Structure 1
Amino acid sequence: MSARSKARKRALDVLFAAEARGVDPLTVLDERLQPPTGPQTQQWVPLGDWAEALVRGVTAHMDRIDGLIAEHAHGWTLDRMPAVDRTILRIAVYELAYDADVPPPVAVDEAVQLAKTLSTDDSPRFVNGVLGQILAIAPRLRGN
């Protein structure tokens, strides 16, 4: 697994935890950026700059990202989606719309891979379908 793939997974963990706890993702991010004390110090893995940038980016653009997902997830509301799928989609849509350093096909493939390992059997196909539609308009999204 590449360093960026690991960072996406760490960003997903932060965003998912924030949603599960009903708190702002930046609160969870701040908690994860602080090294623990005591016995957990040995197990702590720094979040990393890329994961932090993903969390901050998704959080800053959440309304637009969720709007794009809702518009292209035909027959599904955001609330009906499994939380992990919703979080995977948010990260990928952020990359498609706001991160020119990530080639769009890479953002889609990484999201599908996360869905394969973390979600339901149907999730990779669902994630790919939603992102495929958003990918078609990705050139218009970047820079807006």
Structure 2
Amino acid sequence: MSGLDNIGTKVVNPLPSPPEDGLSGNADAILHEIVALLEAYTATGQTGAIDLHSLPLTLDDYELLRITLADGEVHAHIDAIGNSEVRETLYPGVWWVTYYNAEGDIVADLIEVTAVPEILKAPADDVREGLAHLRELLKQEQP
């Protein structure tokens, strides 16, 4: 018997332990899909998204995703035609983006794999308009 046979091993589940009775298995599938999207993004720059609202997720599935994809360093609140919430997860490049209507109901719940979610990028027309306003302000200050 070699020395390696005497070494004890322990199998550790890499995912946090959520309630087990209400899991459908879809949260685990989503996490694997996120890995595939991250691999594609790091290899080619191709972004991707998963629409959680369109999938049959249980409350426990959502909880597993929230625990596993816990908050990262960036959190943004957007107030435009209803509120939107953007939060980076613990995994850079993986964002959880939730859109609400004016009544506060969730209308879209997405996991986006990208450097910066589109909702946070200023549209080119808005940037040009802001430039024009700033130029006008500076002209008014001149004697």
More helix by share: 1
TM-score relative to the length of structure 1: 0.30
The structure with more radius of gyration: 2
